[in-house]
Chain A
Amino acid sequence: MGGDAASAAIELPATGDAITVAALKTELLERLAAGEGVRLDARHVAEPSTALIQTIEAGAAAFADKTLPFGLLEPSDALCGAYETLGLFTALMSRIVMEM
């Protein structure tokens, strides 16, 4: 995971296991505390999980509450499929941001 700088995108893990999901939560909370928006680079997500998507969605709500930007960059097919399977396709559409 990890971005190069605080303002850089956070790279989502390839596998959404308990450890990587916990690390994502910590990183999101740090960004939130710093009052910074975040972009999640979702290109390499190969094995998403409910836990990962819960964390992304809880993060999206937390950043929206503070009116901070939050977005998913280039979600992988696997992540898109997972969002769809969970019945969250509309939510996914509202999270995707385009890199300019």
Chain B
Amino acid sequence: MSAEDQELRQIFLLECEELVTLAESSVETLRAAPTEDAIHALFRAVHSIKGGAGAFGLDHLASFAHVFETYMDLLRKGKSTLDDAAVDLLFDGVDVLRQLSDEARDGEKASTQRYEAALAALRAAAGLEEDAAAAKPPPADFDPMAEFEAQMAAAPAADEAPRRKYKIRFVPGPKLLEAGIDPLRILGVLKTLGELQVEIAGQLPPLADLDAQICAWSWTGTLETAAPQADLDDVRDMIDDLAVFEFEGEAPPPAPEPEKPVAAASAAPAPKKQAAAQAAEPAKPRDKPVATVRVDVPKLERLGNMVGELIITQAFLARQASGLDPETHRPLFRALDEMGQHIREVADAATSIRAQPLKAVFSRFGSLVRDLEKTTGKRIRLEIVGDHTEIDKTVVERLSEPLTHLIRNSIDHGIENAEGRAAAGKDPIGQLRLSAEQRGAQVVIELVDDGKGINRERVLAKAIERELVSPGAMLSDQEIDELIFLPGFSTADQITSVSGRGVGMDAVRQVIEEMGGNVALTSRPGEGTTFSLTLPLSLAILDAMVTLVGRQNYLVPISAIIDCLRPEASAIVRMDDRGAMLAWRGQILRILPLATEFGVAGAESDPTRAILILVKPSGGETVAIQVDDLIGQEPVVVKSLERNYRKVRGVSGATILGDGRPALILDLSSLMAVDGRNRRMPRAAAEG
């Protein structure tokens, strides 16, 4: 295969991934409420997969998609019933399409058991013979048109049906001929459906410039046919996105009124009127696809880096200008303001280019839940909300594993079996809700189950048994719940095939924190558990408060800040075991002096002479972070500390400030999780 073919194959496989996601979401729609649009969308997705797979010699994928498409065609034409069993079959089919597509991409052969079972079931449902040619991979010179022509020719004639006139418009796109679809054959198929009258339009280029593989003509005309509209849909689906094929049915002439006795003249022929009105409805135009372009990720990363450099330069210029008189340098300040705005817009645009809807990852969980239902014998209803929410592509890619673990965990340990639910007076079907929404510069993903909640007694006993907590420890409910995030913690007495395989909740938290996010948990005994994952929209740019501690700068994410204050002496409460605490609006808050946390010398130790920044990471407790001073708010470019130095608990990354000095960005969740432990940073690393 040439390099160009390889590249095209890769592009197809990426498209295939999107098509499978689209197919799965169509089946989800069909399960909830069958619509014609969803059936057509699923058919088109499977059809496109078949065409592409055939062109790239992906025989198994092409032949499976072919059988799937045959079954879809029956559903589409109402020749097969879309009941629960059919929906399950469609889900299985989509799962196998994904498996085959993944295999083609990764070059790894997965188990054929599922493939064979789904193929046999689809074949049976489609009424295909066991040894039919459909089971075999299509030949290398697979001609999709020939198959289509045969299919259309084999369609039963509808002579008794009323003829209907359609206006048609057919505009081949530049790739149509290349895809092996000849307009002549498309028009030929239309001729087989009825009486076709077309006019040709379009100017041929001079002979020397003629590219015979690009059709320069287009056609408009009429087709009078007794064939069902589904046949025209078939033609449109065959062409797919390679050409415009539009058709609109004209209202048929009213049927002649039967001669009636005068006495019956008042009886209105309502059904006929309805039929005429129905026939007059134009075929629904397909949604026009948004023009897109594929870009290599390294190019996006370069764009992001350059935007980062712009932000740093802009901050530098702002700092330099801050010493000038604004009155005498008004044009300069105005220009700086405008530049700042433009850079922010460019940064937002760069962020949005990298953003992907969470659907890409959420759509996989339908299949996971169905598998888990089979494994555990529990019945689960998965509700997905807000999967259109967009987030950085890197986050989307990394979310799959932690979310899979959380879902497994909820189903295995959280949601009760049918007997348990009945005993608790609950619906026998367990509820699992996966939602996402954007809140400011963050995206919050929640997984809510209506299971039995965390068994705190058991969690605490396990933690004591494993010497993670001393036997006499007095822990709040929240603190006990949080124990499940400790490394290696598991309450599963037996390792099941579903969870409890050593990949603990600590791994979930670690992955989320590595992306600059945090995980919070709330649980109510007997009612269920909620996991909240808060993630930054962009991993590259952060609005931060620049603080000073000793001679070093630390940055606090603005999104987590509730308040900043210099406390009165009366607001400071001394506690023997916990040191200085802050009394604030009826609460007693922990004070975390950053100088102590990071071993910074020369910093202010008295909280009444320092500044306290009150922060509350999503779902976490409110804590007062003690710094010497606030420098100001600044958008900063997040650089990986881990890549350039090593992972440091309490720090999510580093940046370069406008004055050229390096600064550390606080990871509030991990900072608060390990209270009291001294995280000394080597000075060389902190100073760049």
Contacts of B221 in A (CB 8 A): 87
Judge whether B187 is part of the interface by a CB distance below 8 angstroms: yes
Contacts of A53 in B (CB 8 A): 184
Contact of A61 among B183, B184, B200, B204 (CB under 8 A): B204
**Central interface residue in A54, A55, A62, by most chain B CB within 10 Å:** A54
B548 shortest CB reach to chain A, Å: 71
Judge whether A1 is part of the interface by a CB distance below 8 angstroms: no
User: Given contacts A21-B212, A25-B210, A87-B219, are A58 and B184 in contact (CB under 8 A)?
Assistant: no
- Could you mark each residue 63-88 of chain A with 1 if its beta carbon is under 8 Å from any beta carbon of chain B, else 0? 00000000000000000001001111
**Smallest Cβ-Cβ distance to A33: which chain B residue:** B208
**Smallest Cβ-Cβ distance to B172: which chain A residue:** A50
CA of A33 to CA of B148 in the docked complex: distance in angstroms?
Answer: 42
Q: Are A87 and B204 touching (Cβ within 8 A)?
A: no
CA of A15 to CA of B215 in the docked complex: distance in angstroms?
Answer: 17
Contacts of A48 in B (CB 8 A): 184
- Could you mark each residue 211-238 of chain B with 1 if its beta carbon is under 8 Å from any beta carbon of chain A, else 0? 0110111010100000000000000000
Contacts of A1-55 to chain B: CB distance below 8 A: 18, 21-22, 25, 28-29, 32, 48-55
A94 shortest CB reach to chain B, Å: 14
**Smallest Cβ-Cβ distance to B200: which chain A residue:** A87
Interface of A is mostly: helix
Q: Are B212 and A51 touching (Cβ within 8 A)?
A: yes
**Smallest Cβ-Cβ distance to A18: which chain B residue:** B213
Q: Are A32 and B217 touching (Cβ within 8 A)?
A: no
Contact of B184 among A22, A32, A62, A86 (CB under 8 A): A86
Q: Are A54 and B215 touching (Cβ within 8 A)?
A: yes
Q: Are A87 and B199 touching (Cβ within 8 A)?
A: yes
Judge whether B597 is part of the interface by a CB distance below 8 angstroms: no
Contacts of A87 in B (CB 8 A): 198-200, 219, 221
CA of A88 to CA of B458 in the docked complex: distance in angstroms?
Answer: 83
Judge whether B206 is part of the interface by a CB distance below 8 angstroms: yes
Q: Are B182 and A49 touching (Cβ within 8 A)?
A: yes
CA of A32 to CA of B183 in the docked complex: distance in angstroms?
Answer: 28
**Central interface residue in A48, A52, A86, by most chain B CB within 10 Å:** A86
Q: Are B215 and A50 touching (Cβ within 8 A)?
A: yes
Contacts of B208 in A (CB 8 A): 29, 62
User: Given contacts A50-B217, A87-B199, are A22 and B212 in contact (CB under 8 A)?
Assistant: yes
Contacts of B553-608 to chain A: CB distance below 8 A: none
Band of interface residues on B: 20 to 34
CA of A63 to CA of B200 in the docked complex: distance in angstroms?
Answer: 21
The tally of CB-CB contacts under 8 A between chains A and B is 69
B192 shortest CB reach to chain A, Å: 11
Contact of A58 among B187, B191, B206, B219 (CB under 8 A): B206
B181 shortest CB reach to chain A, Å: 10
B311 shortest CB reach to chain A, Å: 52
Q: Are A58 and B199 touching (Cβ within 8 A)?
A: no
Contacts of A25 in B (CB 8 A): 207, 210, 212
User: Given contacts A51-B213, A87-B199, A87-B221, are A62 and B207 in contact (CB under 8 A)?
Assistant: yes
B530 shortest CB reach to chain A, Å: 60
**Central interface residue in B183, B200, B207, by most chain A CB within 10 Å:** B207
Q: Are B219 and A32 touching (Cβ within 8 A)?
A: no
Contact of B187 among A21, A28, A52, A86 (CB under 8 A): A86
**Smallest Cβ-Cβ distance to B188: which chain A residue:** A85
CA of A22 to CA of B210 in the docked complex: distance in angstroms?
Answer: 10
**Smallest Cβ-Cβ distance to B209: which chain A residue:** A58
B225 shortest CB reach to chain A, Å: 16
Q: Are B212 and A54 touching (Cβ within 8 A)?
A: yes
Q: Are A85 and B191 touching (Cβ within 8 A)?
A: yes
Contacts of A28 in B (CB 8 A): 207
User: Given contacts A50-B182, A51-B177, are A59 and B207 in contact (CB under 8 A)?
Assistant: yes
Judge whether B205 is part of the interface by a CB distance below 8 angstroms: yes
A41 shortest CB reach to chain B, Å: 19
Contact of A86 among B200, B204, B207, B212 (CB under 8 A): B200
Contacts of A18 in B (CB 8 A): 212-213
CA of A2 to CA of B307 in the docked complex: distance in angstroms?
Answer: 61
Q: Are A54 and B216 touching (Cβ within 8 A)?
A: yes
Q: Are A61 and B215 touching (Cβ within 8 A)?
A: no
Q: Are B217 and A54 touching (Cβ within 8 A)?
A: yes
Q: Are B205 and A58 touching (Cβ within 8 A)?
A: yes
**Smallest Cβ-Cβ distance to B178: which chain A residue:** A18
**Smallest Cβ-Cβ distance to B196: which chain A residue:** A85
Contacts of A88 in B (CB 8 A): 200
Q: Are B198 and A58 touching (Cβ within 8 A)?
A: no
Q: Are B183 and A55 touching (Cβ within 8 A)?
A: no
Contacts of B188 in A (CB 8 A): 85
Q: Are A55 and B210 touching (Cβ within 8 A)?
A: yes
CA of A50 to CA of B188 in the docked complex: distance in angstroms?
Answer: 12
Contacts of A51 in B (CB 8 A): 177, 182, 212-213, 215
- Could you mark each residue 140-183 of chain B with 1 if its beta carbon is under 8 Å from any beta carbon of chain A, else 0? 00000000000000000000000000000000000001000011
Contacts of A58 in B (CB 8 A): 204-207, 210
A60 shortest CB reach to chain B, Å: 9
CA of A59 to CA of B216 in the docked complex: distance in angstroms?
Answer: 14
Contacts of B219 in A (CB 8 A): 86-87
B223 shortest CB reach to chain A, Å: 13
Q: Are B213 and A86 touching (Cβ within 8 A)?
A: no
Q: Are A55 and B212 touching (Cβ within 8 A)?
A: yes
**Smallest Cβ-Cβ distance to A85: which chain B residue:** B187
CA of A49 to CA of B196 in the docked complex: distance in angstroms?
Answer: 19
CA of A58 to CA of B208 in the docked complex: distance in angstroms?
Answer: 9
**Smallest Cβ-Cβ distance to A28: which chain B residue:** B207
**Central interface residue in B191, B205, B210, B216, by most chain A CB within 10 Å:** B210
Of all A-B residue pairs in the complex, the 6 with the closest CB atoms, nearest first, are A87-B200, A51-B212, A62-B207, A58-B207, A87-B198, A58-B210
Binding site for B on A (CB under 8 A): 18, 21-22, 25, 28-29, 32, 48-55, 57-59, 61-62, 82, 85-88
Besides the known contacts A51-B182, A61-B204, 9 further A-B residue pairs in the complex with CB atoms under 8 A apart? A54-B204, A58-B210, A59-B207, A85-B188, A85-B196, A85-B198, A86-B183, A86-B187, A87-B200
**CB pairs A–B below 8 angstroms (29 shown):** A18-B212, A18-B213, A22-B212, A48-B184, A49-B184, A51-B177, A51-B182, A51-B213, A51-B215, A54-B204, A54-B212, A54-B215, A54-B216, A54-B217, A58-B204, A58-B206, A58-B210, A61-B204, A61-B206, A62-B206, A85-B184, A85-B196, A86-B200, A86-B217, A86-B219, A87-B199, A87-B200, A87-B219, A88-B200
Binding site for A on B (CB under 8 A): 177, 182-184, 187-188, 191, 196, 198-200, 204-208, 210, 212-213, 215-217, 219, 221
